[in-house]
Amino acid sequence: MTVRTRFAPSPTGYLHVGGVRTALFAWVIAKKNNGKFILRIEDTDKNREVAGSIDHIMKSLSWLGIKWDEGPDTSNYLGPYLQSERLPIYKTWAEKLISKDLAYSDPYTTAQLDEFRQKAITNKKPFLFRDHRPKNPTTWDGSTALRLKSAPKIYTWHDAVMGNMQAGDSAIDDFILIKSDGYPTYNFAHIIDDYLMEITHVIRSQEFISSIPRYLNLYEALGLAPPIIATLPYVMGPDGKKKLSKRDGAKDVLDYQALGYLPEAIINFLATLGWNDGTEQEIFSIDEIINKFELSRVQNSGAVFDEKRLLWMNGSWIRSLDLDDLYQRSDKFWPESANNADEQYKKKVLSLVQERLKYLAEIPQLTNFFFADQKVDPSLINDNKYLSKLEKSELKNILSQARIELEACDFSSVDLTRRLNQLLESLKLKPAVLFSLVRVATTQAPASPALVESLAVIGKELSLKRIDQQLSALS
């Protein structure tokens, strides 16, 4: 049997990392088993729907390389994949239940329901609709909610992540199948869809765990065999107690794209948030994850989303890229000053900052001085612990000597190193003094790659020009 998994978001906004991890694990299971991954949109709540969400969700998944084999934009193998386009299907299945006397029309108003609920809370009892099940319900005409006539019992089941589970019969109730607006509830629609779309593994997050007995009850009523169930623990917010939410500042996945995070890093990070292969490996390629992933090795407890760890992992992935690849990915991140620079030059710059990058949006601040005219910044000397101790005249003298030496230099790394070292000896200077001074003069930046490499890239003409500017500023 072909393994088929699905990710079924509701289009209520952007996708954040917590949601993406659920999609990732479902996708990985499908890929691992040469199966299919289905994207289904659960748009059964018109009130919560946010325009543009579907497109945004698809963009997010696409960027990460989580490709769906079937979805709203593919041919309709077992679609449509938008629940709002499947209303007749749900109605047909609802009628099957009605004909078996397993569903009935809900006669109560919301005010009455609230009253029942309030009473249950006051009595410190769980609210169970079935305690109020009407004796002679009217024929359902679609204008009221349709409820399942549940069969309460104790359920035990196996969860591919959590293991063996059990729940008491108070977990079973007459939940709503079709709302009075004609749309199905999630509880009903997803079961029908998972069956019709031949889903073999239902992978979703923890908040559904207490609903599972109700789903099992519905499967029985429908005469369907339940799929393999896998419940993922939460991705936690910073406090480590509650699941990560947009309120905690959980970013849109596409925000990470804009900051220059690599999809490989996001996936690596998310996969190892709650999963590991039992070895001490931390960095996994997407293929390795697909090969090694096991639901049974997924953690049962929630894991805090730690941006710092993600940052480290992203830097690690950036460092592992070869230069051409990094160059391609950097395309949209260059500072304006680099607009006229050629590819060759930009690649040289990139090779110098590669190991310094944690995310690609840092490129402008790290590379601007390679491209733009720099103004002399006196604080760079005044705040430097070596240079601030020297008189201006001394600095000027040292820099003038350096200028003479660089004037004669061919600006190859070898010649730069040789001449700067000679100068250290002849002037009896510490590297901390000479190198700092030349670095400050030629970059006018608080930090830069190593001096010799930087000079070699900046070039003779520009380096000398900047030294001259520094010299006149010291006068």
Partner RNA sequence: GGCCCCUUCGUCUAGUGGUUCAGGAUAUCUGGUUCUCAUCCAGAAGAUCGCGGGUUCGAAUCCCGCAGGGGUCACCA
Under the criterion CB under 7 A, does residue 320 sit at the interface with RNA?
Answer: no
| Residues between 238 and 257 with contacts to RNA, criterion CB under 7 A | 240-243
| Residues between 31 and 70 with contacts to RNA, criterion CB under 7 A | 42, 44-45, 48
Please say which residue, 378 or 431, places its beta carbon nearer to RNA.
Answer: 431
Under the criterion CB under 7 A, does residue 429 sit at the interface with RNA?
Answer: no
Task: Assess contact for 213 and 171: CB atoms under 8 A.
Answer: yes
Applying CB under 7 A, among 181, 336, 407, 468 the residue interacting with RNA is 181
Cα angle: 285, vertex 289, 292; to 5 degrees? 130
Under the criterion CB under 7 A, does residue 336 sit at the interface with RNA?
Answer: no
Helix axes 451-458, 413-427, angle to 10 degrees: 120
Q: Which two tokens stand for residue 392?
A: 């201006």
Least separation in angstroms between CB 125 and RNA: 6
| Residues between 135 and 164 with contacts to RNA, criterion CB under 7 A | 144-145, 162-163
Please say which residue, 247 or 340, places its beta carbon nearer to RNA.
Answer: 247
Applying CB under 7 A, among 356, 401, 469, 471 the residue interacting with RNA is 356
Please say which residue, 2 or 281, places its beta carbon nearer to RNA.
Answer: 281
Q: Which two tokens stand for residue 448?
A: 């830069």
Q: Which two tokens stand for residue 446?
A: 């608080």
Please say which residue, 2 or 410, places its beta carbon nearer to RNA.
Answer: 410
Under the criterion CB under 7 A, does residue 435 sit at the interface with RNA?
Answer: yes
Under the criterion CB under 7 A, does residue 400 sit at the interface with RNA?
Answer: no
Task: Assess contact for 207 and 25: CB atoms under 8 A.
Answer: no
Whole-angstrom distance, CA of residue 386 vs CA of residue 388: 6
Task: Assess contact for 387 and 381: CB atoms under 8 A.
Answer: yes
Catalytic residue of the set 242, 246, 332, 392: 246
Task: Assess contact for 265 and 357: CB atoms under 8 A.
Answer: no
- Please return the burial class of 2, using the count of CB atoms within 10 Å of its CB with bins 0-12, 13-18 and 19+: exposed
Under the criterion CB under 7 A, does residue 449 sit at the interface with RNA?
Answer: yes
Least separation in angstroms between CB 188 and RNA: 9
Least separation in angstroms between CB 312 and RNA: 4
Question: DSSP labels for 79-148?
Answer: ---BGGG-HHHHHHHHHHHHHTT-EEE----HHHHHHHHHHHHHTT----GGGG--SSPPPP-SSS-EEE
Pick the piece of the chain touching RNA (CB under 7 A) from 194-202, 219-227, 248-256, 275-283: 275-283
Task: Assess contact for 371 and 418: CB atoms under 8 A.
Answer: no
Please say which residue, 76 or 109, places its beta carbon nearer to RNA.
Answer: 109
Under the criterion CB under 7 A, does residue 273 sit at the interface with RNA?
Answer: yes
Under the criterion CB under 7 A, does residue 170 sit at the interface with RNA?
Answer: yes
Under the criterion CB under 7 A, does residue 10 sit at the interface with RNA?
Answer: yes
Under the criterion CB under 7 A, does residue 379 sit at the interface with RNA?
Answer: no
List the alpha helices (DSSP H) in 272-429: 286-292, 307-320, 323-330, 343-353, 363-371, 379-382, 392-407, 413-427
Under the criterion CB under 7 A, does residue 111 sit at the interface with RNA?
Answer: no
Whole-angstrom distance, CA of residue 318 vs CA of residue 313: 9
Total chain residues near RNA (CB under 7 A) = 96
Q: Verify whether residue 246 is a known catalytic residue.
A: yes
Pick the piece of the chain touching RNA (CB under 7 A) from 7-15, 69-77, 255-263, 330-338: 7-15
Which residues are known catalytic residues?
Answer: 246
